[in-house]
Chain A
Amino acid sequence: MIETQTGEQLLPVDPTTKRPRKPTRQPGYYPGYSTMSQKNFWDAATRQTVEKRVYDVPEIRFFSPEELPLMQAVCDRVLPQHDRLPQYRIPIVNYIDERLFKNEIDGYRYEDMPPDREAHPLGLKAINETASAMYNKPFLDLGPLEQDYVLKSIHDGEKKAALDIWSRMSIQRYWHLLVQDCVAAYYAHPWAWDEIGYGGPAYPRAYTRLENGDPEPWEKDEQRYEWEAPATSISDKYEESAAGAGTTHHGQGGTH
């Protein structure tokens, strides 16, 4: 994996000591919890699917050598993982690359969007142009905080540059495409399940403790700790009106 930014300033901070928290194998409030430790209890098809995801990471085949470092840098801000030891970071870009290489779509395309395989490269171009307009530098040459401000402008639907690209594709929908692809890659990974304390597959064994948030015998209780996002980021600031005011934001996922 390409390291686009390094250093202590990228790490979440312990609010009591004001010191950076050391990167770990498994951040989150469920230390010692491992879904993969339970894989022998899963059915064979599920076990194979999840093992392949972890141990057989797809190569980069879609993004060009010029696009790849930029995509990596963008994903490092859209879903930062600096609190993870490098060998325990989830290769988000590889999974997005695989989806685009295989042209696996979700069954629809908005009429104001190009196909996903065009949207991602166009979006990277627009991000770079926005970086130039805001800071006179390409995105890769910016510090993490400046990179966040560039991405935040797209998150907010502000067209600070690349007007020709945004005339071909909706800025809000591109942002959603990008974030969706990142979270769909990250939270599909069992290491992310361990981080958030999600039980994972349970066939044929079953869940038996349904109420009060009780853990199954193989699950762990929550052990919370306080943390602050690094000072070099703005993505942890929650604003009530932030999600692209004035546009419709209908959800993508299936729940009912």
Chain B
Amino acid sequence: MKSPLLGRFESPHEKDKRILGPLQRISRQYRHYLDSEEVDYCVVGVGSAGGVLLQRLAKAGFSVVGLEAGPFWDPERDWVSDEKGSHKLYWNNLRITGGEDPLTFGENNSGKGVGGGSVHWAAFAPRFHPSDFRVYSEDGVAVDWPISYDDLKPYYELLEREIPVAGPAYFPWGDPHGYPYGPHPLGGVGDVLVKGCTKLGIRVCAGGPVAILSGSHGNRPHCIYRGFCIQGCKVGAKASTLITHVPEALDYGAEVRELSMAFRIGMRDKDHVNGVFYYDRDGHEHFQRAKAVIVAGYAIETPRLLLNSACPGHEHGLANSSGVVGRYLMAQAGNVVLGRFPSLIRMYKAPPAHAMTEEFYETDPGRGFARGFAIQSVAPLPIAFAKQMMTAIGAWGWGMRRVLMDYNHWATLGVLGEILPWPDNRVEIADEKDEYGIPVPKVTFNLHDNDKKMIEFGKKKVMEVMWAAGAEQVVQESRYAHLVGAARMGSDPATSVVDKFGRTHDVHNLFICDGSILPTQGSANPGLTIQSLAARTADYLISQGEKIWTSDKRDMTPPPIRRHLAVRDSFTKGVPRLFR
């Protein structure tokens, strides 16, 4: 068949609408504030955290503007089912990377545009384990969080319904729980992980937890298994704040200002901010006035903005009296193990993320290192696979052509390992400037002894699983996944940047809410935790009301959870799940 029955698929005509998926359309007309209007909250970055913050604060009646450096996407018209054509989804602006074990950025971990990283995440959405919040107490390394798992648990449960998460009815690791949407069918890679783990007696979980719909939900259709999760989900089945929270934020009067690159935070006096300086799409400078500012730019841009906002009274960067801004940056070990199988796998089908085990997540003294790792399905498309083979086996020339001709025979599994926070892993400001004239970030990253032991153990374990699944050749590539830290939360202003609600210790009406505030990272993908923290910070701000904009008193009472602020449809869809 050469064409669909009713002719080839064409672009929809509705020019006045953004088309977020086959069923979801939003108006291009919405509330617009003037720079001179003082809004209640200016949120810098409309990504995983920023989208949730905007929706909650607007729904609670605050005036809010979100400044987003990238575009406000129209997935139907802007996104493509194409690896190379999806390059624009990533934060591709220059960052200098160095150290002994340098990180890479762009497509590996950094999003740009409304939805941010949640547009291109693979959407694994596990919770952190209770032990993740007490790493120093339990293992004598890193730090404890200023909050416990129980503080965050109600928000995990809420966000799992809001975005929502599909997975097994019984998830056995950490704090065991179930998911509101059923698990996904397995693709070739998931089969390999389940087969290998089962053979070795390792408990394994199939079909999630992923923030991808296994059944339709409101105006979002279920997954069609096309495999382009990290190229942006045109279907609208994979959650991103672009489609989960931003539409409702707009309904309640929030403004999302696209192509607006923040470069400095403005100060009313030494202890208070009064807005954000930014460049618009044409490079013109603006200043958005605000009663409070929330920085949600993720683990590189957040410290970059704070450091670039140095001013009298904050000579080493805003909110940086501790010297900790930019430090304790973390990435997770993301080694990819590739196995060739005699039969076909075709790993490009199904979401890359759909099977995992957290059996090695917790510290095991017998292994000789603290903390652990998870094993997850991954599934590179051809270009990413070729790059992996370049590093894994040094492939080039006819060897590259040969191994790629066997693309359909390969399956890939990922280590997701906990690298500990170290002060020398940091974001600084380089001498070079970007196209706006803003100094670019310089990132230094070194692996330490515990990290190296964990990676060695983790990759060997995944290779064992791959062999057990029946692979006839197994190779691996070292890499990293995700970014967190660099503006960490804590109780002590001398060793942390923000308190447990995301308020900076140094500046009373400046908040940070994104992955950068995580003190440690566990072996879980950080997306769900970032969104849960954002919902909690929003509840705190709503509870505090107007006094938080001017008062220098800190009320550390935890806020009540506001379930009624969850996005619509959160409680009316899904299947019953097991509660412990």
Contacts and interface: CB of A to CB of B under 8 A. Distances in A.
B4 A41 contact: yes
B81 A203 contact: yes
Interface residues on A, range: 35 or more
Contact of A256 (B110, B124, B407): B124
Contacts of A105: 92, 94, 106
A44 B10 contact: yes
B4 A40 contact: yes
Nearest to A29: B405
B95 to A, nearest CB: 5
A251 B4 contact: no
B105 A108 contact: yes
A110 B442 CA distance: 10
Given A45-B78, A198-B407, A255-B414, A80 B397 contact: yes
A156 B8 CA distance: 49
A51 B105 CA distance: 29
Contact of A40 (B2, B11, B390, B399): B2
Nearest to B184: A210
Contacts of A205: 4, 224
Interface string B379-411: 111111011101111111111111011111000
B189 to A, nearest CB: 10
A146 B191 CA distance: 45
A199 B394 contact: no
B547 interface: no
Interface in A3-36: 12, 27-29
A111 B109 contact: no
A206 B8 contact: no
Interface in A199-234: 199-215, 218, 222, 229-230, 233-234
B348 A184 contact: no
B281 interface: no
Contact of A106 (B4, B92, B100, B101): B92
B3 A222 contact: no
B334 interface: yes
A197 B407 contact: yes
Contact of A255 (B187, B380, B525): B380
Contacts of B11: 43-45
Interface stretch (A133-141, A160-168, A238-246): A238-246
B396 to A, nearest CB: 5
Interface string B114-126: 0000001010100
Chain A, interface SS category: loop
Contact of A80 (B1, B91, B353, B401): B401
A197 B479 contact: no
A218 B395 CA distance: 30
Nearest to A230: B398
Identify which of B9, B83, B380, B396 gathers the most chain A CB atoms within 10 Å of its CB: B396
B230 to A, nearest CB: 6
Interface string A147-191: 010010001000000000000000000001001100110111000
A253 B108 contact: yes
B391 A249 contact: yes
A235 interface: yes
A207 B442 contact: no
Contacts of A28: 405
Contacts of B224: 202-207
B364 to A, nearest CB: 23
Contacts of B93: 107
A78 interface: yes
B115 to A, nearest CB: 16
A183 B408 contact: no
- Most-contacted residue by chain B among A148, A251, A256 (CB, 10 A): A256
Contacts, number: 319
B32 to A, nearest CB: 27
Nearest to B380: A255
B533 to A, nearest CB: 21
A256 B414 contact: yes
Interface string B70-84: 000000111111111
Contact of A49 (B7, B85, B387): B85
B397 A236 contact: yes
A188 B383 contact: yes
Contact of A198 (B90, B95, B382, B525): B382
Nearest to B233: A203
B90 A107 contact: yes
B30 to A, nearest CB: 24
A249 B525 CA distance: 23
Given A41-B9, A44-B9, A203-B226, A254 B108 contact: yes
A60 interface: no
Nearest to B404: A196
Contacts of B525: 256
A199 B349 contact: yes
**Which of B349, B352, B416 neighbours the largest number of chain A CB atoms within 10 Å of its CB?**
B349
B227 A179 contact: no
A79 interface: yes
Contact of A199 (B82, B346, B478): B346
A118 interface: no
Given A179-B400, A248-B478, A253 B384 contact: yes
Contacts of B400: 79, 179, 183, 235
B543 interface: no
A107 B186 contact: no
A106 B106 contact: yes
Contacts of B408: 196-198, 213, 222
Contacts of A79: 396-397, 400-401
25 contacts: A28-B405, A37-B2, A41-B3, A42-B81, A44-B9, A44-B11, A47-B8, A49-B80, A49-B82, A77-B397, A80-B397, A80-B401, A151-B397, A179-B390, A183-B404, A186-B386, A192-B404, A195-B405, A211-B191, A229-B398, A235-B397, A248-B100, A250-B102, A252-B104, A254-B384
Given A43-B76, A211-B188, A211-B191, 6 more contacts: A42-B9, A107-B92, A197-B407, A201-B81, A242-B394, A250-B104
Q: Which 4 interchain pairs have the tightest Cβ spacing?
A: A235-B397, A213-B344, A107-B106, A111-B98
Interface of A: 12, 27-29, 37, 39-47, 49-50, 53, 77-80, 104-112, 148, 151, 155, 176, 179-180, 183-184, 186-188, 192-193, 195-215, 218, 222, 229-230, 233-239, 242-244, 248-256
